[in-house]
Amino acid sequence: MNNEKTPIFQSEEKKRAKAQLLISFGILVITIGIGFVSSKYWGVSENSGTVVPDNTTISDDLGIIKIEDKTNPYLDITAQYPTLGIGSTYVQQNVFDIISAFKSENDFSKTSASDLAFIGLSAERQYQLNIKYVVTTGKNTITHRIDSYAFTGGAHGGNFVETYTFNKDEKLLSINDLFVDPAKGLDLVSKKTVEYINNNPDYKDGLPTDWFDQGTAPTLENYSAFELTKDTLVIVFQQYQALPYVYGNIEIPIKLSELSIVLKNEFK
C-alpha cells in the first residue's frame, strides 16, 4: 500500500463523552489515530515525513519508536508510536500533539520556586505522561490501541484508552459497523457486558448503581473502545465509566460466536 488514508471519524457525542471522562480524573488526552502493522498484515506504508519533536531521546524497537522527553525537569514524558503501516503518520502526529498539549498545559517556566514547592513538584516528583501502543488482528480487521496515562498531582493518575479498528479496505469502523442492525447489535453487546460484570466476583462490590446502568447502556459512546481478535470482541470501559476508579479500565471479552445472530458475515 503506497498511499495512506487518513481517518476522520469522531462524532460530536463521542467528543463530549470523552471530555467528560477526562475531566473526571483530571488528565489531558487528545484524540489519537491509528498505527503500525507489520508487512504480514496487508502490506506496509512507509512513514511520510513526520518530524520528531526536538530534544527527545529516541529508540527504535521493531518499527515502533519510543520517545523519552526530559526537556522539562518537572515533566516525565514517554511515548510509543509506529513508523510503518496503515495510518502510521496519522498516529505519529497525534502522539506529538498530545505531548505538545501536555507540555503547554504544564509549562512551569514562569512558576516561582515557592509555588513549585507548594504544588509539590521537583526533579524527584514530576508530572507524568506515558503513551503506550499495541496492535491486534482479527479475521478481516486490525485494531490499534492507545493507552494514555497521565499524572498531574492528586492521589493518583488516570488512564484513557482509545481504539481504532480498520477493515481490509482501510475503513475506520465504529462498533455499529460490525452489526447488520446496529441497535440490536449494541443491545446484545450491552446485555453480554452486564452479564459478564455481574458474574465476575472481582466486581461484586462495585455494583449495581445508576452510574453502572448509565455506563453499560447500549450507546455508541459507551462502546466506542473495542478490540477484535480472530474469535473475540473485547469491550474496553474507561476508568469511572461504570465502576469506581479502583477497578481501572474494565475489559469484557465476548466470543464472536455469541454474537453471530447480529454480526455481519465478514466479522463472523
Element (H, E) at 172: strand 172-173
Contacts of 124 (CB under 8 A, 6+ apart): none
**Predicted pLDDT at 62:** 66
Whole-number pLDDT of residue 56: 61
User: Alpha-carbon dihedral of residues 201, 203, 205, 209, nearest 10 degrees?
Assistant: -130
> Which cell numbers hold the place of 7?
481517518
Alpha-carbon span 166 to 140, nearest angstrom: 8
Question: Nearest-CA neighbor of 87 among 171, 11, 156, 151?
Answer: 171
Residue in the structure block whose three cell numbers are 447480529: 262
Query: pTM value?
Result: 0.75
Cα 115 versus chain centre, distance: 33
3-state secondary structure at position 229: coil
pLDDT at 52: 54
Is residue 121 within 8 A of residue 142, CB to CB? The reply is no
Element (H, E) at 255: strand 251-255
Q: Tell me the three cell numbers of residue 219.
A: 450507546
Quote the Cα angle for 245-251-254, to 5°: 150
Grid coordinates representing 83? 513508523
Quick one: pLDDT at residue 36? 31
Q: Residue 6: name the closest of 123, 87, 93 by CA.
A: 87
pLDDT number for residue 87: 67
- Give the β-pairing of 141-151 and 232-236: unpaired
**pLDDT number for residue 244:** 92
* Predicted confidence pLDDT, tens digits, the chain (268 residues): 433 333 333 444 444 444 444 434 343 333 333 333 333 334 333 333 444 555 566 666 667 889 999 888 999 999 998 777 676 777 788 788 889 999 999 999 899 999 999 988 988 899 999 999 988 889 988 888 889 999 998 888 999 998 888 888 888 899 999 999 999 999 999 999 999 999 999 988 877 789 999 999 999 999 999 999 999 999 999 999 999 999 999 999 999 999 999 999 999 9
The vertex-266 CA angle with 259 and 13, nearest 5°, equals: 70
| 73 within 8 A of 123, measured Cβ to Cβ | yes
